[in-house]
């Protein structure tokens, strides 16, 4: 069907839908075609067409529920006119039909409940008889329950919301309101009790004498009983008995007969008690306020542009024919069995002919890119779990994947993990969400500008939409001092540091090593906490804490390193060792790492690091070697950039292709502004490990040579390391010089022995203080 004919049919369908809708809107059940008169015919504004249409379509089908028919016709006409995808139109049409039938049954139910005031006039012949059938089978009450359940299912399907999530959100809100009311009630009691304690009537009451001219009467205070005194005393006794405190009396206050020393002592004790009670009140007030913490809403994210299919059905068939012809030209025969269009690429599944080997496809990517006029072509030979070969062609007009689409997706909403990350969309346009806790660490690598920093922002923002500050904490390391600077707003909320460090977002190698060492100490401490609680992992610990609220709060800890290459260049083994230890052991105690680098070479992504990061994300790289370094196979060099990535999951051999969700700086700043306006939780710090040396002197470890620091300075200044150099400069023997070289290698200052090649110096002078800190 050509476009012109499609537009004409679409317009005609829309006009017909409008006419039918107006006919239904002015429908008169007593206006029948057999008894038409000029007066009655004018009641339907569409004339004879309206009378016949409304009479036969409404009275003999679903009555007023038949309004779904013109709406569906209008949707179909609009879809044809705009050449949009039919998937959404069919989706809405099905649910609108269900709602129309449900409305017909509801009208029949109401009519019957009112003594049969109408039969088939308003619910329609089919709807009326269908309702009677339901009553005969299930009865009135069960049929009513079925109506309610069906309505909920229809609305949830029409508007794409989860019933379970809705019930869960309602329960959570009610629970929060209940807890907030309890906190306010308790706080109000504390304030009232404190005011009652502070107010103490004076024990000495002045004596008044009233002189009356006629009679002079003297009345002592003992002879008169004040009824208000008894009421006040009873109230005071009740309040203090509930608080388990002693009321202020003349005996426990300072009096004139006491000595000066005892007077000062009493004042000090009372001041101390008052401060403690004030701190307790402030803590309760802080907790009550923090319970009002509100998660960020979708309003801070930009509305996505409407995503349309990049190709029509005819264009896809034309692409498939061109691809089949190109394969035949290169001597590879096969047929296209499936086409999966996505926002950025379109996947063509080719089933090879009998006798055609799969490896014939692998070397055709460049040739197919030339013939199909594509930027890059990636070939999956074969598709895992299938006998087909996949050929991914980039779309002529790729769509941008916005984060709001993924955050608002059913997959992300239903995800219960606090570490749920909305990474992006698959090649078929489905939202992709994963749990960082199951990875448990992620290595992100790719060329400059390929999308690594945006990917890290996506991960951080996703967690902020799932977790409160007391549930997830971040350690941010940013040697470039630019990418993660925006998140300094999270200080006091999600961001955590150690007391001996002077920044929250680590930008220097010394602070980076220090915070990682603190994370290791925290890891060991958590192991002991979990052992005392008799649990094996953080999930079991959180379940145990629900049963026993007195247990220590242990949040998840996510370590984000934006540029590993720079740290490895300046710090070497000093940065590699803590990363390795955390990657090996920290999963069970809720510590997870996200490490990114723009230089995916073997000296940065070492074998030790790589083996402890089973989940890896590869963005576009420049060579096949870099691709193999990241995901152990080729393919990343064929990516398109701008967020196009390959995600290798733990325990799998074939990566999946995704398109990373895009989040702008304005969106991040808006979310940071929202978080900064929320109440703060109790601040926690990582344990302190490294102590600064005030005198700057190097402290030797046991067994180290006293010339080690001088040797390190020498090889860094000369940018070369050899036994003969140390012998000549320090006038020492060969054995001692050889031991110095070994110690320099163990500290990560110089590279290992590589035959006839000279050893490489791996650090600079700025890192000497870090290496030789005691």
Lowest mean per-residue pLDDT among 101-105, 329-333, 615-619: 101-105
Tell which wins on pLDDT, 724 or 753: 724
> Is the omega angle on the peptide bond into residue 382 within 30 degrees of 0, that is, cis?
yes
Query: How many other C-beta atoms can be found within 10 angstroms of the C-beta atom of residue 223?
Result: 7
The torsion of the CA quartet 130, 131, 136, 137, rounded to 10 degrees, works out to: 70
SS (H, E, C) 425-457: EECCCCEEEEEHHHCCCEEEECCCCCCHHHHHH
The fold for domain 708-771 equals Arc Repressor Mutant, subunit A (1.10.10)
CA-to-CA distance for 428 and 341, rounded, in angstroms?
Answer: 6
Tell which wins on pLDDT, 91 or 16: 16
SS (H, E, C) 545-610: HHHCCCCCCCCEEEEEECCHHHHHHHHCHHHHHHHHHHHHHHHHHCEEEEEEECCCCCCCCCHHHH
Would you give the DSSP letter of residue 615?
E
Taking a C-beta distance cutoff of 8 angstroms, is the pair 103, 65 a contact? yes
What b-and-e string marks burial along 598-620, b requiring 16 or more CB atoms within 10 Å of the CB?
bbbeeebbeeebeebbbbbbbbb
Q: What is the pLDDT of residue 113?
A: 66
From the centroid of its chain, how far is CA 331? 48
Tell which wins on pLDDT, 345 or 94: 345
pLDDT band for position 307 (50/70/90)? low
CA-to-CA distance for 734 and 115, rounded, in angstroms?
Answer: 112
Q: What is the pLDDT of residue 1?
A: 52
**First-residue to last-residue Cα distance in the chain:** 79
> Is the omega angle on the peptide bond into residue 381 within 30 degrees of 0, that is, cis?
no
Q: Which helix (H) or strand (E) holds 238?
A: helix 227-243
For the chain, the average pLDDT equals: 79
Structure-token match 């000066």, residue found: 260
196-239 pLDDT, tens digit each: 555 445 444 444 444 434 344 444 444 444 444 444 444 444 44
Structure-token match 């009873």, residue found: 234
Taking a C-beta distance cutoff of 8 angstroms, is the pair 100, 68 a contact? yes
CA-to-CA distance for 728 and 731, rounded, in angstroms?
Answer: 5
Tell which wins on pLDDT, 479 or 129: 479
Taking a C-beta distance cutoff of 8 angstroms, is the pair 258, 270 a contact? no
Reduced to 3 states (helix: H, G, I; strand: E, B; else coil), residue 232 is helix
Task: Domain 313-394: state its class.
Answer: alpha beta
Query: How many other C-beta atoms can be found within 10 angstroms of the C-beta atom of residue 87?
Result: 10
pLDDT band for position 172 (50/70/90)? confident
Query: Which tokens belong to 149?
Result: 């359940």
Structure-token match 């309505």, residue found: 151
Q: What is the pLDDT of residue 47?
A: 77
For a pLDDT cut of 70, what percent of the chain falls above it?
A: 79
Range 415-432 average pLDDT: 92
Query: Which tokens belong to 60?
Result: 């003999």
Taking a C-beta distance cutoff of 8 angstroms, is the pair 97, 72 a contact? yes
Structure-token match 């036969």, residue found: 56
pLDDT band for position 631 (50/70/90)? very high
Lowest mean per-residue pLDDT among 167-176, 223-232, 477-486, 574-583: 223-232
Taking a C-beta distance cutoff of 8 angstroms, is the pair 620, 636 a contact? yes
Q: Which helix (H) or strand (E) holds 365?
A: helix 365-371
**Residues spanned by CATH 3.30.980.40 within the chain?**
313-394
Tell which wins on pLDDT, 720 or 185: 720
Tell which wins on pLDDT, 691 or 160: 160
Q: Where does 407-676 sit in CATH, by number? A: 3.40.50.300
**Residues spanned by CATH 1.10.10.10 within the chain?**
708-771
pTM above 0.85, yes or no: no
Q: What is the pLDDT of residue 227?
A: 44
CA-to-CA distance for 716 and 538, rounded, in angstroms?
Answer: 44
pLDDT band for position 21 (50/70/90)? confident
493-524 pLDDT, tens digit each: 999 998 888 899 999 988 999 999 999 999 99
Q: Which helix (H) or strand (E) holds 334?
A: strand 334-341
**Total number of residues shown for the chain:** 774
**Residues spanned by CATH 3.40.50.300 within the chain?**
407-676
DSSP line for 175-196: HHHHHHHHHHHHHHHHHHHHHH
Query: How many other C-beta atoms can be found within 10 angstroms of the C-beta atom of residue 315?
Result: 14
Range 586-614 average pLDDT: 88
Rg of the chain on CA atoms, in Å: 38
Structure-token match 């009396």, residue found: 249
Taking a C-beta distance cutoff of 8 angstroms, is the pair 559, 408 a contact? no
């Amino acid at each position: 069907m050509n476009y012109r004919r499609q537009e004409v049919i679409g317009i005609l369908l829309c006009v017909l839908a409008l006419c039918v809708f107006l006919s239904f809107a002015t429908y008169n059940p007593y206006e029948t075609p057999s008894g038409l008169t000029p007066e009655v015919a004018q009641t339907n504004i569409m004339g004879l067409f309206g009378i016949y249409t409304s009479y036969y379509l409404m009275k003999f089908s679903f009555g007023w529920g038949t309004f779904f028919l013109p709406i569906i016709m209008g949707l179909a006409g609009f879809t044809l006119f705009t050449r949009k995808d039919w998937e959404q139109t069919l989706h809405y049409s099905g649910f609108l039909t269900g709602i129309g039938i449900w409305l017909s049954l509801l009208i029949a139910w109401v009519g019957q409940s009112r003594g049969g005031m109408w039969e088939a006039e308003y619910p329609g012949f089919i709807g009326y008889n269908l309702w009677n059938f339901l009553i005969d089978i299930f009865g009135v009450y069960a049929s009513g329950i079925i109506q309610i359940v069906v309505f909920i299912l229809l609305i949830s399907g029409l508007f794409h919301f989860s019933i379970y999530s809705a019930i869960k959100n309602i329960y959570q809100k009610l629970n929060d309101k209940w807890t907030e009311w309890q906190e306010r009630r308790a706080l109000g009691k504390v304030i009232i009790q404190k005011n009652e304690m502070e107010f103490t009537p004076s024990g000495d009451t002045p004596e008044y004498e009233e002189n009356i001219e006629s009679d002079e009467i003297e009345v002592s205070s003992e002879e008169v009983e004040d009824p208000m005194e008894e009421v006040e005393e009873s109230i005071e006794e009740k309040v203090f008995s509930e608080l388990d405190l002693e009321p202020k009396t003349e005996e426990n206050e300072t009096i004139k007969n006491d000595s000066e020393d005892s007077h000062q002592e009493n004042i000090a004790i009372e001041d101390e008690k008052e401060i403690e009670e004030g701190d307790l009140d402030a803590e309760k007030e802080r907790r009550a306020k923090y319970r009002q913490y509100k998660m960020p809403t979708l309003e801070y994210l930009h509305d996505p542009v409407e995503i349309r299919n990049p190709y029509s059905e005819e264009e896809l068939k034309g692409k498939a024919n061109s691809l089949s012809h190109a394969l035949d030209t290169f001597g590879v025969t096969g047929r296209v069995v499936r086409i999966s269009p996505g926002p950025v690429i379109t996947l063509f599944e080719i089933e090879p002919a009998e006798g055609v080997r799969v490896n014939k496809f692998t070397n055709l990517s460049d040739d197919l890119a030339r013939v199909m006029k594509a930027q890059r072509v990636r070939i999956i030979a074969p598709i895992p779990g299938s006998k087909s070969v996949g050929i991914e062609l980039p779309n002529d007009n790729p769509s941008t994947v916005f984060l709001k689409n993924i955050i608002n997706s059913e997959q992300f909403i239903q995800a219960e993990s606090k570490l749920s990350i909305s990474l992006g969309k698959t090649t078929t346009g489905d939202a992709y969400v994963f749990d960082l806790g199951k990875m448990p660490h992620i290595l992100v690598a790719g060329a400059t500008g390929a999308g690594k920093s945006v990917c890290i922002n996506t991960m951080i923002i996703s967690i902020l939409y799932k977790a409160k500050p007391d549930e997830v904490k971040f350690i941010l390391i940013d040697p470039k001092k630019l990418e993660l600077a925006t998140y300094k707003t999270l200080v006091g909320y999600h961001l955590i540091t150690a007391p001996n460090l002077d920044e929250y977002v680590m930008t220097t190698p010394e602070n980076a090593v220090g915070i990682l060492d603190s994370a290791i100490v925290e890891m060991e401490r958590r192991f002991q906490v979990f052992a005392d609680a008799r649990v094996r992992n953080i999930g079991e610990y959180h379940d145990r804490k629900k049963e026993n609220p007195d247990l220590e709060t242990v949040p998840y800890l996510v370590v984000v390193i934006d540029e590993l290459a720079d740290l490895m260049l300046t710090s070497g083994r000093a940065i590699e060792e803590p990363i390795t230890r955390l990657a090996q052991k920290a999963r069970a105690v809720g510590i997870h790492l996200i490490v990114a680098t723009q230089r995916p070479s073997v000296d940065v992504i070492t074998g030790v690091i790589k083996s402890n990061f089973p989940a890896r994300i590869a963005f576009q790289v420049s060579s096949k070697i870099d691709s193999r370094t990241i995901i152990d196979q080729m393919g990343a060099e064929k990516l398109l950039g701008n967020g196009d990535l390959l995600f290798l999951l733990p325990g799998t051999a074939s990566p999946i292709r995704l398109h990373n969700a895009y989040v702008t700086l304005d969106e991040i700043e808006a979310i940071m502004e929202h978080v900064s306006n929320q109440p703060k939780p109790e601040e926690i710090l990582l344990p302190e490990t490294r102590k600064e040396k005030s005198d700057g002197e190097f402290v030797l470890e046991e067994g180290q040579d006293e010339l080690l620091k001088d040797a390190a300075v020498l090889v860094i200044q000369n940018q070369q390391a050899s036994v003969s150099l140390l012998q000549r400069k320090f006038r020492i023997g060969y054995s001692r010089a050889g031991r110095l070289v070994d110690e320099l290698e163990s500290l990560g200052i110089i590279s290992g022995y590589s035959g006839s090649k000279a050893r490489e110096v791996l650090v600079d002078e700025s890192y000497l203080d870090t290496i030789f800190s005691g």
